[in-house]
Structure 1
Amino acid sequence: MILDLLFPNRCIHCNRIISPELLVCNVCFDQIHFTHYDFSGNNPVREKCKLLFPVENTYALMQFEEQGLSRKIIHELKYRSREKAGKILAEWTAERLDFRDKTPDLMVSVPLHPKKLKERGYNQLHLFTETLSILYGIPYHHELIKRNHYSKAQALKDREHRLSTANAFSLTQAVTGKHILLIDDVFTTGNTVSSIAWEILNAGNNKISVLVMAMDL
């Protein structure tokens, strides 16, 4: 296409021209620090979650590093209108994540407040979740959880506000007897995931597992 010739897709790290369906070139891809966590075993995400709520299994695709390529990838997805990056991240996840006999019943992603959704134009987790749903054959529910309060970008919050997540989320309908995979982009303090997890756990006989794009160590 003419637009592809005039504005070719470029690697977000080195600026080399690459295929339209890629985020990074092959050389830069090797610089991404994938975690290779075992979904059913112990890993840093699970250890942190266990301090906050009862958790079944956990997985993080990448290590989140301030000066690393994973940060650039997440930034492109969230703030530079690269919604399609979610599909690529999901494909990378499916190549590495094996649920084995621990396959969840339902995928639920962290919601945006309607005002934030209107500002950004999309939820950065939706295409990621929808692609995983197709690849693994697990249904998803984007409206199960709602965010009750509008807040500024996480990166702009001070630590006190990051830790304040009381009554931040609520369920839109009853759910019980489900193993729910809760999906977020970056796991830092775990307070957002914990707040949602307790809403789901308190609603009935449910179990929670966690999947994140990146783990901030």
Structure 2
Amino acid sequence: MILDLLFPNRCIHCNRIIDSELLVCDLCFSQIYFTHYSYFENNPIKEKCSLFFPVENTFALLQFEKESLSRQIIHELKYKGREKAGKIIADWTTERLDFKNEKPDLLVSVPLHPKKLKERGYNQLHLFTETLAAFYDVPFDHQLIKRNHYSKAQALKDKKHRLEAANTFSATQPISGKHILLIDDVFTTGNTVSSVAWEILNAGNNKVSVLVMAMDV
């Protein structure tokens, strides 16, 4: 309580004092670019994923536009130590995503390399994934896929290096006959999601859908 008085939570966009459980104030919330994609219908992320691997359904919550509040929100989560932002973004997702009667069997998030995890202190996708799993009553597995190589942040790479991800990931155990929802933060080239998806598809008779926090448009 005393810390809240001395260091009140502020809107990441306009700096107004806001509730400790929020990221942005009500006024700035209207400036967030939501995609309004349908999970079951064709959308830009499905079109791009389909170029790389067989994909069932896709959903992106935000548009990751340059200099946008959406981009700022993701950067707060990934680089500013705002791990709890993952739950807030998940809550926004559950308000907009309905699996109807076709829930996936398992939620799997893109892993960090152990060295990167130690540097950051948390995987920015874990709380997001766990919040979704609890809401939709679907299990999650943070250990199914491992990252084999340490690399610098995607945001710091040029396009050429983003495309170099051969053997970056591997499955840690056999899995077959499952519909897996693959979760990532930002969809850019599609290379990361594709690499993980193929590990899942090659592991057995599985199906893959994709959910990302934001799509770089």
Same fold (TM over 0.5): yes
Structure 2: where are the runs of 5+ without partners? none
Secondary structure, in 3 states, of the residue corresponding to 2:215? strand
Deviation at 1:101, TM superposition (A): 2.5
- State the match for 2:164 in structure 1: 164
- State the match for 1:8 in structure 2: 8
- State the match for 1:108 in structure 2: 108
Is residue 141 of structure 2 the alignment partner of residue 137 of structure 1? Answer: no
Deviation at 1:212, TM superposition (A): 0.2
Deviation at 1:110, TM superposition (A): 0.3
Deviation at 1:95, TM superposition (A): 0.3
Relative to the length of structure 2, the TM-score reads 0.99
- State the match for 2:50 in structure 1: 50
Counterpart residue type for residue 118 of structure 1: K
Cα-to-partner distance string for 1:21-53 (whole Å, 9 max, x where unaligned)? 000000000111111111000000000000000
- State the match for 2:153 in structure 1: 153
Secondary structure, in 3 states, of the residue corresponding to 2:95? helix
- State the match for 1:177 in structure 2: 177
CA-atom RMSD in angstroms: 0.5
Counterpart residue type for residue 95 of structure 1: E
Aligned pairs, number: 217
Secondary structure, in 3 states, of the residue corresponding to 1:210? strand
Counterpart residue type for residue 193 of structure 2: V
Is residue 34 of structure 2 the alignment partner of residue 34 of structure 1? Answer: yes
Secondary structure, in 3 states, of the residue corresponding to 1:96? coil
Rounded Cα–Cα distance in structure 1 between residues aligned with 2:27 and 2:178: 42
Rounded Cα–Cα distance in structure 2 between residues aligned with 1:159 and 1:86: 26
Relative to the length of structure 1, the TM-score reads 0.99
Cα-to-partner distance string for 1:137-183 (whole Å, 9 max, x where unaligned)? 01000000000000011111121110011000000000000000000
Secondary structure, in 3 states, of the residue corresponding to 1:132? helix
Deviation at 1:102, TM superposition (A): 2.3
Structure 1: where are the runs of 5+ without partners? none
Matches for 1:64-213 after TM superposition, within 5 Å: 64-213=64-213
Counterpart residue type for residue 56 of structure 2: E
Identity of aligned residues (%): 77
- State the match for 2:214 in structure 1: 214
Contact 1:40 1:102 in 2 (8 A): no
